[in-house]
Amino acid sequence: MLKWCLATALVLGTSVAAIAQSLSKAPVIATEANWKVLKIKDAMTDKISCIAIYKDNHDIQLSPGTLYISYKGRGGVASYSIRIDDAPAGKLHLASKTEENLSTIIIENELPKITMAKRLRVSGLTVLKTLISEDLDLDGIGAAYAVVTGPQCR
């Protein structure tokens, strides 16, 4: 749902910041340590879905199947690698066309590991050649993900 919203925003010229603004009005249905789960209703279909935001930072969002880290207004995304807990850092990812266009890191394949982890580190380069550096304390992510994918969010 959120990926569709972000892609639609890109096509229609609406900023990701505007979507984040609308999320600030969404009701919080659960708080799980560092994560707040927000319930959102699609204006066109009235379909209910949920996302979780990290420490009130709308730049970091968890939705069913995907973790998004936005660099909109912070230089965009050129490349990045992730490190889950104390495992070795993953291989360098060149930003996909979608990630470049949205200025957002989109993590899908590693999400099952991340929802079980305690820490996520992301490093890389922005389009402006500045450093990307995130060190997330994932406390509560598994419980937040269970809510986001649960029955009250469908």
- Model confidence over 118-148: pLDDT tens digits? 999 999 999 999 999 999 999 999 999 999 9
Domain count, the chain: 1
- Rounded Cα distance, 105 and 67, in Å: 8
- Rounded Cα distance, 132 and 92, in Å: 13
| Domain residue limits at 147 | 2-153
121: nearest Cα among 142, 107, 140, 103: 107
- Model confidence over 6-42: pLDDT tens digits? 444 443 333 344 455 467 789 999 999 999 999 998 8
